[in-house]
Structure 1
């Protein structure tokens, strides 16, 4: 038997009620009355011929049937949203997941050429803290993204933008207080990083050192915060060398080794696998991959 749901609004109300577990909160989020929330839930239960919630003192609690339905409703509404966004993309809209420092120090100064090439392209920028590749449903966040790492992300088409070299940097005052002349001197320093310590682990290994469990370190929220913390003398950082050229020239940062180091880390363009990307998404990707040549020359 085919069950016909006469009102999609009831499905939407059910979904929000599942997420909140509370009629009052669901009504606030949907900007409708509590009685309307109750009406739509009751209507859906009548159409299906079963109870979806148990009403308790703490709020709404899903029944077995409600739990089963909630899983399908969440997936279904997500697919509808993705479809709507893909249709919108046909009109020239692209959602891009960006890393703030990459945006400010590389992308922003080059977007003019993209706009000249594709004047009808509409860009929607969404910042993330290097989390796009780990999102449960990345395509609902953006059509494509820039991610820092080694490129080993399943579920994405991955394009390495260019090879990187890393600079070890700190403030002049920090260097004066913590002399650094050889790699093992960093054992006495506070190592600053974002996400995790994998970059430092790799750097230490490449310099024939092992990770010290008692190493002083500080994890920061994003690269901009890491940069300001390094300038303010909180410790030593690893940065893609081109990102800190300006600070090294001005003298607010110094490179105690006077050279840069090889790394397996890099910036990548990543596109969630699944449906074929829209034409505007392909246009953005093609442009970005063409633009990467000049940067690759500068980092070699």
Structure 2
């Protein structure tokens, strides 16, 4: 039985830094105190937790097992403390910047009227929330683009999407596009990976070339500006680029949109029961999501 939680906290910092001096600095205690707590913990457990080397501290096999459980435990404690401290209604939301700016931001006023005590904390991510090692430490819930096949999350598709193939008028003038296979001669722009383009080409009877010109960009805002500036051809959820198509800075060479298995999802990490404020935000999102499909896709 461990009698002193301080030894656990010291072990956690030491395992993360691998250095007694650095751990002492972060904990604002002496190096001898760090060594004392580590030794005390090893004595209580009956195992060596670190190998002392010239470079610092290396976890033993037993130390690595303990470190993984300590990290999870301390994260759960932190989550509990935050929930108790924020009973007024704090919700951390992991957002995709383009989704946020073009859909969510204009609707948040309605949520604030319904839930005036709700405190929202927005955290941007580059479609990485579902792949984080510990997503619950980053946000209570998030918006993710993909196919919805993420383990460890409660997953809610917001609406079915249709994709538009778009490029700048200048790019189209130098790269004529009238048939799907014409895209094999174009530079295909994408974010995250090329799965969307692979699906689109397959659904339109085109075999992707191993030498296909393509460019991966950091986020959808950068992808949009790159497309407008004539770097290549992009796939976007059609509602995201309506204004650009209307103004003429982008064109849709096929004049129609395409079905896709990709969509935006509201996802909530599984584990502890969500707090009431998180449930309120989710209920609101899922209640108003139908307005998007009705206004854009007529479904």
TM-score by length of 2: 0.93
Q: 2:67 aligns with which of 54, 67, 70?
A: 70
Residue 146 to residue 245, structure 1, CA distance change in 2 (3 Å): same
Q: 1:251 aligns with which of 235, 248, 253?
A: 248
Question: In structure 2, the residue corresponding to 1:109 is in which secondary structure?
Answer: coil
| Deviation of the 1:79 alpha carbon | 2.1
Could you tell me which residue of structure 2 aligns to residue 123 of structure 1?
Answer: 120
Q: 1:260 aligns with which of 251, 257, 261?
A: 257
Could you tell me which residue of structure 1 aligns to residue 283 of structure 2?
Answer: 286
Between 290-299 and 280-289, report the one with greater CA deviation: 290-299
Between 66-75 and 204-213, report the one with greater CA deviation: 66-75
Instruction: Trace 1:1-300 onto structure 2 (pairs within 5 A).
Output: 3-6=1-4, 8-88=5-85, 90-300=87-297
Between 141-150 and 28-37, report the one with greater CA deviation: 28-37
In structure 2, C-alpha distance between the alignment counterparts of 1:196 and 1:31, rounded to whole Å: 43
RMSD: 1.8
Question: In structure 2, the residue corresponding to 1:255 is in which secondary structure?
Answer: coil
**CA distances 1:241-296 after superposition (whole Å, capped 9, x unpaired):** 11111111222211111211111111111112222211111110111111112111
Residue 157 to residue 50, structure 1, CA distance change in 2 (3 Å): closer
| Deviation of the 1:69 alpha carbon | 2.5
TM-score by length of 1: 0.92
For structure 2, the residue ranges without an aligned partner over 5 or more in a row are none
Question: In structure 1, the residue corresponding to 2:149 is in which secondary structure?
Answer: coil
Question: In structure 2, the residue corresponding to 1:168 is in which secondary structure?
Answer: strand
**CA distances 1:152-209 after superposition (whole Å, capped 9, x unpaired):** 2222221111111111111111111111111111010000001111111111122111
2:171–2:232: 8 Å Cα contact kept in structure 1?
yes
2:158–2:286: 8 Å Cα contact kept in structure 1?
yes
Between 185-194 and 10-19, report the one with greater CA deviation: 10-19
In structure 2, C-alpha distance between the alignment counterparts of 1:50 and 1:136, rounded to whole Å: 27
Between 153-162 and 84-93, report the one with greater CA deviation: 84-93
In structure 1, C-alpha distance between the alignment counterparts of 2:173 and 2:64, rounded to whole Å: 61
1:158–1:268: 8 Å Cα contact kept in structure 2?
yes
In structure 1, C-alpha distance between the alignment counterparts of 2:19 and 2:180, rounded to whole Å: 57
2:97–2:124: 8 Å Cα contact kept in structure 1?
yes
| Deviation of the 1:210 alpha carbon | 1.7
Aligned residues: 297
Question: In structure 2, the residue corresponding to 1:113 is in which secondary structure?
Answer: helix
In structure 2, C-alpha distance between the alignment counterparts of 1:203 and 1:65, rounded to whole Å: 49
For structure 1, the residue ranges without an aligned partner over 5 or more in a row are none
Residue 54 to residue 122, structure 1, CA distance change in 2 (3 Å): same
| Deviation of the 1:65 alpha carbon | 3.7
1:97–1:125: 8 Å Cα contact kept in structure 2?
yes
Question: In structure 1, the residue corresponding to 2:92 is in which secondary structure?
Answer: strand
